[in-house]
Structures are given as structure tokens and as C-alpha cells.
């Protein structure tokens, strides 16, 4: 395995820990009634967004899901504007019109979260098609899921990307549940990467809780995509730390399985990488964590003190609808 | 002596609009089933492959939802895709990508993002094409905030409105009618566009306002001609775009004639005609000398049998009857 610089591993851990803190603190705010609506935590899956986004360029595209906060952060979003969006404020990424499931940040190449499972695949195919036609050398990552893999547009999109040789990386975040239905109940062939092979797409399965494994795989496949060898499919095996959304206790998730995935928690592993491979001291890591927690405090203050869009401003946006 | 204006077919007018816009802007691309090599079922995209190549005129697999979504995605990153769905009936396969993605994308991004995307399709009754190739489904799109809805009736309008649609930074649903493609009409050879939200008075008259769009404009004009023989002077308003709708032209005409017939090929229930009637009654109630008449399709899928098919949608005689009814003559 390659050697990694301390700075690189610090940056990776910073992203991992930021997502963890963002989700944990936001869930508290949700419980206090400060955040409303639906909230699908990315807890337990942080390594996938972190490793994948670290492996592509800032101007590359991603298409995210309803469980999208991690993707946003990993693609460079400012947590201030993210929290503000969750609060429904004007300073949020969508001015409070979108909320948790619709955060988009085109300036960072984030085409947006999407609350329709599977629907971001065609959009990602389109972004990659645009890059292919413009020759802009960008790749697009579509984050998708075991749930989406049973949707028609998943299959159609793989086929379109394949026949058009698009610079597209499809990452199945296989967290093993479609809302509450186990992958074992929704597919006979549960090795989902094989679905890519059926369309003539280079496909592989990786440990989705290992940020470096994700990073290495995506780095290599992004290079292949830029050389015209796309699309690529990656199935990253992972597990949620809880139910489908904040109010789902996930009673259907077997305890022993959750215990296992807790033992290979992506944040713990990223921290160990930073300490062991990055030769960071415990003190340095703790300081970094405190700094991230402070930033989250500031983001929450920013969101709380931000104004909401007025009705008149809202109506101006939709006046020709 | 002035040169007689060139007459071309509706489909040729659309083809010319594509050719002009694709020459003008290299981000304009076309996607759809059989549009490149075959030139489209109705020959709208014929020969464009020759000039613009397979990267800009793309034959897609039969995967409507996904190639439509790919068009939307490409639009978000700066292309100007025009996606063709062969029959509007098949557009029911793409509703998520149109309604949840294209129509809402700009809104969900806080009003910032551009989605310069055109969905082209055609609807309406042909000649025995039966229930899954004959519907008029414009009300589905009319209902959705965030979409423009364009339905040209003449070659002139087809060219100018398609060019406008391609240049629009917001998603446009552009619906043609299968019986219009072979119709000829005057079309200037120069570059022109028609702004959305401008109805066209296709025939001016003082007695009754008939409001229509797409193929029903032509049928209303035939009816108006027949009414003229009985000394009823009918004004025919072609809305051309349903969203945005030119309510000013509608109301100006209503205030002049004080009698209204609205004609739609689509089924009556939940139709656009009902919405137009509600706008008129709330804005110009005091001007009306008779209840508004709606001439619409029966609440039925389109039957295959040609006689039944004809009777399922408005005919010239139905429009004449409605005109006479609002005039209180037999």
C-alpha cells in the first residue's frame, strides 16, 4: 500500500470527523425540535464519501442521495450553510427551500442530494455525458445504494453510461437496508457489483468502512475514466449506525451485526490511520477534533442567527412558475 | 412585386429550427429513440445527423426515464439538450425526471441553477393509433409548477417557439400534434423567435371568442368559417403556450365578444379548459352574456375504431354547436 503524508491523512480524518460531528450534533438539534422534516443520518458510512471525494478533483461532479450530508461535506461544502439549510434559513444552500434532502452546491461540483431513490443516476449520466461532449476531463461520481439498485433507472443508467463510455463512477453504498428491508429479502444475488458486469462495466466490491480502500479504488477508477475507460461500478459494503431516519430506531437491525460494524467504525479506523501511518500525536488529533467541534458550534450559532427567506422573496423566486 | 412567402411543412419548420439553433450554439444536443439515423418517426430530425454527427444527435436505447434524466443532468452542467419522447403517452415513463427533477431543480437550489432542457413529444388522436398512442396529456405538465408548456399549431409558430424553447434557461415541455406535421404554412427563412406567453389571434371576430391550442386551433378555424356563413363572427385565439398563459389576450377578447367557447382535445375532467374558464369567470364575470362552453374529449381512453375515435374528441360540428349555444341560436 502506498505511503500517505501526514497532511493527507489529517485532511481525510478532518472530513470523516466533520461528518460524524455534523450528523451527531444535528440529530441532537432535531430532537430539540430545531430541525424539522426528514433527516437521514450518514453515521457509519462516512468513509465512502470521504475517500471518494478525496480521490477526485474539486471541479469533478458528484450526485448525491437523500442520505447526503456526508457527500456534501466531503465535496467541500461549508457546514455553516448546511446547518442553515437544515434550519430552513435564507443563508442555507437552498435558501431554506430545499432542506436536508436537497442540498446542492454547484460551485463545488455537487449536483445535489436527491430524495427520489435512484433518480440521481440518470442525472449523473447526464453530467458525465456533458463532460464527454465538452471534453472537460471531469468525472462524475454517483452515490447510490442497495435500495436503488432494484430500481429500473439504475439498470437503464448503467447501460447508457456503458454504451456512451462515460467518465462516470457509480458507487453503491451497500448499507444492506432499503429503508427497513434487508438486501437478502430484496435480491437473490446480493453481490451487487455483478450488476455492473452484466452491462459490460468494470466492477468491484470493496470495504466501505475503510477510507483508504475507498480512496485508492476511486483514485484508480477516476484515472481510468479520464482515459476513456469508464464507466466504473464500485460496491462499497457498509452499515448504518441506526435506522433509516432519525425517528426510526432500526429495531429490525440485528444487534450482533451492528456490533460488528461498530467494531470496524470508519471514524475509528481513520483516526488509527492518522496516528499510525500519519505519525500524528494523540494530542494533535484531539486538538483537531476540538477544532471541528468548535466549527460546528459556530455553524449552529450562524444558523440560529440567520434570517429566513421572507414570503415576498420566496414568491419572487417562483413568480413565473 | 413582393416575393411570395415560402411555405413549408410543420415538421420542416421544426427541423429548420433545430438546424439554426445547433449551428448557433454547440451545446445544443438532441437525444431520443430513432432520431438520428432514422430521422425520427415523423421526420422532424431528418438529416441532422449528417450535419451535426452522432455526438450531438444521439439515438438512445428504449430507456425513456434514464435518457430523459440524462438530458436534465447534461442541462445542469451547461448543455442545452432537447430530448424527444416518441409519443406523449410514453412520457408517463419519465414523470419522475420531469416533475421531481427538471421542474424542481432550480427551485430546490434556491432559485439559482439553470436547467436549459427541452422535452419534445407529440400527442393527440391520429388515425386509429389506439389508447396508448393517442392521448392529449398536456394537463399533466400544466399542473406542475416550474415547467413551461408550449403547443404550437402552425409551422410559423413551431419554428419560432422551438427556437425560443431551446434558448430558455428553464425546462420546457414542447408538445406537437401528430396530425400537424404535414401541414404547410408560411415560415420566414430568417432567424426569429416567439416569446412565451403571447397568444395569437388566428381569426378576429366580434361575436364569440373561441380559445384553443394545438390541432384544435385548426378545427376551431374551420368551425369559425362555417359560422361566418351563418353571420356569426368568431374570434379564434391560439394560446400557443399554456404556461405561461396570455390571460390578457383572453380577457381582452372576452370583454369584446362577451361569449366564450374553450376547445380542448384532451378529456374534459381536470383539463386546462376548466382552468381557463375559472380564470375568465373570476376576472370578467360581469362581461359574460352566456355561460362559458367547454368542448372537450370524452372522459375515456381513445378507442381504436375510427368512428368511435372521431366521436371521442371534439369535431367541427361540436364547436359550431357550442358557438351557437353561447349565441342562443339554434
Q: pLDDT tens, B241-278?
A: 999 999 999 999 999 999 999 999 999 999 999 999 99
Q: Which of B74, B75, B28 is nearest to B170 (CA)?
A: B75
Is the residue at A314 inside a domain?
no
Q: By percentage, how much of chain A surpasses pLDDT 90?
A: 99
Residues of A in contact with B105 (CB under 8 A): 112
Residue-wise pLDDT tens digits, A63-120? 999 999 999 999 999 999 999 999 999 999 999 999 999 999 999 999 999 999 999 9
Among the partner residues B73, B100, B113, nearest to A126 by beta-carbon distance: B73
Express as a percent the part of chain B with pLDDT over 70: 99
Residue A159 structural domain: 6-239+257-303
Alpha-carbon distance of A198 to B30, in angstroms, equals 28
CA geometry: angle A302, A303, A305, nearest 5 deg: 65
- Distance of residue A292 Cα from the nearest chain B Cα, in angstroms: 27
Dist CA B111 CA B43 (whole Å)? 37
The candidate with the shortest Cα–Cα distance to A233, out of A162, A184, A177, A179, is A162
Q: How far apart are CA B238 and CA B250, in angstroms?
A: 10
Establish how many alpha carbons lie within 13 A of residue B146's alpha carbon, considering only the half-sphere containing its beta carbon. 22
How many CB pairs below 8 A link A and B? Answer: 135
User: Is residue A308 one of the residues assigned to a domain?
Assistant: no
pLDDT of res. B112: 85
Q: A1-10, B19-28, B75-84, B274-283: which range is least confident on average?
A: A1-10
Per-residue pLDDT of B22-39, as tens digits, reads 999 999 999 999 999 999
Q: For position B259, what pLDDT does the model report?
A: 98
Give a yes or no: residue A142 inside a domain. Answer: yes
B229 pLDDT exceeds 80?
Answer: yes
Q: Which residues of B touch A134 (CB under 8 A)?
A: 27, 78-79
Q: A168: part of which helix (H) or strand (E)?
A: strand A168-174
| pLDDT level of residue A1 (50, 70, 90 thresholds) | low
Residue A187 lies in a domain: yes
For residue A242, the model assigns a pLDDT of 94
CATH code at position A122: 3.40.50.970
pLDDT band at B285 (very low <50, low <70, confident <90, very high): very high
Which grid cell is B327? 349565441
Set out the domains of chain B in order of their start, with CATH numbers. 7-186 (3.40.50.970), 200-327 (3.40.50.920)
* pLDDT for res A156: 98
Reported ipTM: the value is 0.95
A16-20, B76-80, B108-112, range with the lowest pLDDT: B108-112
Residue B328 makes CB contacts below 8 A (sequence gap 6+) with: B290
Domain tally for chain A?
1
Q: Above 80 in pLDDT, residue B131?
A: yes
Angle between helices A282-305 and A266-276 (to 10 degrees): 130
**Rounded alpha-carbon distances, angstroms, from residue A111 to A62, A65, A128, B15:** 6, 10, 12, 32
Residues of chain A whose beta carbon is less than 8 angstroms from a beta carbon of chain B are 61, 63, 92-98, 102, 104, 106, 111-112, 114-116, 119, 121-131, 133-134, 152-153, 156-157, 159-160, 163, 317-318, 320-321
- Report pLDDT digits (tens) over A203-235: 999 999 999 999 999 999 999 999 999 999 999
Cell numbers placing A317: 423566486
Please give the Cα distance from B298 to B315 (Å, whole number): 12
| Residue A98 with chain B: CB contacts under 8 Å | 108-110
Q: Which residues contact B308 (CB under 8 A, 6 or more apart)?
A: none
A124: cell is 449523473
pLDDT at B87: 97
pLDDT band at A164 (very low <50, low <70, confident <90, very high): very high
Is residue B116's pLDDT more than 70?
A: yes
User: Is the CB of residue A234 less than 8 Å from the CB of residue A171?
Assistant: yes
Q: Count Cα neighbours of A111 within 13 Å in the Cβ-side half-sphere.
A: 35
For all residues of chain B together, what is the average pLDDT?
A: 97
* Mean of pLDDT values over A246-255: 94
What is the phi/psi pair of residue A114, to 5°? Answer: -150, 125
Given a cut of 90, whether residue A2 has pLDDT beyond it is: no
| Residue A320 falls inside a structural domain | no
Instruction: State the greatest distance between any 2 C-alpha atoms of chain B, in Å, as a whole number.
Output: 60
CA angle (B281 as vertex; B275, B285 as ends), nearest 5 = 170
Amino acid at each position: 500500500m502506498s505511503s500517505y503524508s501526514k497532511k493527507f491523512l489529517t485532511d481525510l480524518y478532518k472530513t470523516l470527523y466533520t461528518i460524524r460531528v455534523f450528523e451527531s450534533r444535528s440529530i441532537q438539534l432535531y430532537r430539540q425540535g430545531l430541525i424539522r422534516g426528514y433527516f437521514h443520518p450518514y453515521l457509519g458510512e462516512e468513509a465512502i464519501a470521504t475517500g471518494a471525494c478525496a480521490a477526485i478533483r474539486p471541479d469533478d461532479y458528484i450526485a448525491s442521495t437523500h442520505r447526503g450530508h456526508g457527500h456534501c461535506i466531503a465535496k467541500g461544502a461549508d457546514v455553516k450553510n448546511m446547518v442553515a439549510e437544515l434550519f430552513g434559513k435564507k443563508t442555507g444552500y437552498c435558501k431554506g427551500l430545499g432542506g436536508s434532502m436537497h442540498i446542492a452546491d454547484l460551485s463545488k461540483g455537487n449536483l445535489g442530494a436527491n430524495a427520489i431513490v435512484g433518480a440521481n443516476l440518470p442525472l449523473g449520466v447526464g453530467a458525465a455525458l456533458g463532460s464527454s461532449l465538452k471534453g472537460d476531463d471531469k468525472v462524475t461520481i454517483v452515490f447510490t445504494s442497495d435500495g436503488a439498485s432494484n430500481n429500473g433507472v439504475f439498470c437503464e443508467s448503467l447501460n447508457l453510461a456503458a454504451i456512451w463510455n462515460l467518465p462516470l463512477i457509480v458507487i453503491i453504498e451497500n448499507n444492506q437496508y432499503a429503508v427497513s428491508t434487508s438486501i437478502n429479502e430484496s435480491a437473490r444475488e446480493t453481490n451487487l457489483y455483478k450488476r455492473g458486469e452484466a452491462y459490460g462495466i468494470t466492477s468491484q466490491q470493496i470495504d466501505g468502512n475503510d477510507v483508504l480502500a475507498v480512496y485508492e479504488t476511486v483514485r484508480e477508477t477516476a484515472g481510468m475514466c479520464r482515459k476513456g475507460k469508464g464507466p466504473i461500478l464500485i460496491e462499497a459494503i457498509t452499515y448504518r449506525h441506526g435506522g433509516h431516519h432519525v425517528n426510526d430506531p432500526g429495531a429490525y437491525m440485528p444487534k450482533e451485526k451492528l456490533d460488528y460494524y461498530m467494531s470496524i467504525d470508519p471514524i475509528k479506523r481513520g483516526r488509527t490511520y492518522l496516528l499510525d501511518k500519519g505519525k500524528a500525536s494523540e494530542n494533535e488529533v484531539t486538538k483537531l477534533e476540538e477544532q471541528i467541534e468548535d466549527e460546528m458550534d459556530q455553524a449552529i450559532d450562524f444558523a440560529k442567527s440567520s434570517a429566513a427567506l421572507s414570503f415576498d422573496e420566496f414568491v419572487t423566486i417562483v413568480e413565473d412558475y | 412585386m413582393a416575393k411570395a412567402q415560402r411555405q413549408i411543412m410543420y415538421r420542416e419548420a421544426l427541423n429548420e429550427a433545430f438546424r439554426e439553433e445547433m449551428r448557433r450554439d454547440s451545446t445544443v444536443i438532441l437525444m431520443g429513440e430513432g432520431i438520428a439515423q432514422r430521422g425520427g418517426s415523423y421526420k422532424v430530425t431528418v438529416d441532422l445527423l449528417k450535419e451535426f454527427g452522432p455526438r450531438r444527435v444521439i439515438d438512445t436505447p428504449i430507456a425513456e426515464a434514464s435518457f430523459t434524466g440524462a438530458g436534465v443532468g447534461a442541462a445542469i452542467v451547461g448543455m442545452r439538450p432537447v430530448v424527444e419522447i416518441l409519443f406523449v403517452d410514453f412520457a408517463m415513463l419519465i414523470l419522475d425526471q420531469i416533475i421531481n427533477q427538471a421542474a424542481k431543480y432550480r427551485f430546490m437550489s434556491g432559485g439559482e441553477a439553470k436547467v436549459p432542457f427541452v422535452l419534445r413529444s407529440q400527442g393527440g388522436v391520429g388515425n386509429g393509433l389506439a389508447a396508448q398512442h393517442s392521448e392529449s396529456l398536456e394537463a399533466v405538465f400544466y399542473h406542475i409548477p416550474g415547467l413551461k408548456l408550449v403547443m404550437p399549431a402552425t409551422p410559423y409558430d413551431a419554428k419560432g417557439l422551438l427556437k425560443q424553447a431551446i434558448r430558455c434557461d428553464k425546462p420546457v415541455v414542447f408538445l406537437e400534434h401528430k396530425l400537424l406535421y404535414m401541414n404547410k404554412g408560411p415560415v420566414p427563412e430568417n432567424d426569429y423567435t416567439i416569446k412565451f406567453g403571447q397568444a395569437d389571434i388566428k381569426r378576429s371576430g366580434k361575436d364569440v371568442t373561441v380559445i384553443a391550442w394545438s390541432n384544435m386551433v385548426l378545427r376551431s378555424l374551420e368551425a369559425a368559417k362555417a359560422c361566418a356563413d351563418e353571420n356569426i363572427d368568431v374570434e379564434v385565439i391560439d394560446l400557443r403556450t399554456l404556461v405561461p398563459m396570455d390571460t390578457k389576450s383572453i380577457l381582452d377578447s372576452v370583454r369584446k365578444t362577451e361569449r366564450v367557447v374553450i376547445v380542448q382535445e384532451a378529456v374534459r375532467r381536470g383539463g386546462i379548459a376548466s382552468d381557463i374558464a375559472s380564470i375568465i369567470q373570476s376576472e370578467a364575470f360581469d362581461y359574460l352574456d352566456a355561460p362559458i362552453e367547454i368542448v372537450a374529449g370524452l372522459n375515456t381512453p381513445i378507442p381504436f375504431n375510427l368512428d368511435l375515435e372521431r366521436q371521442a374528441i371534439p369535431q367541427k360540428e361540436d364547436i359550431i354547436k357550442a358557438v351557437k349555444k353561447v349565441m342562443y341560436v339554434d
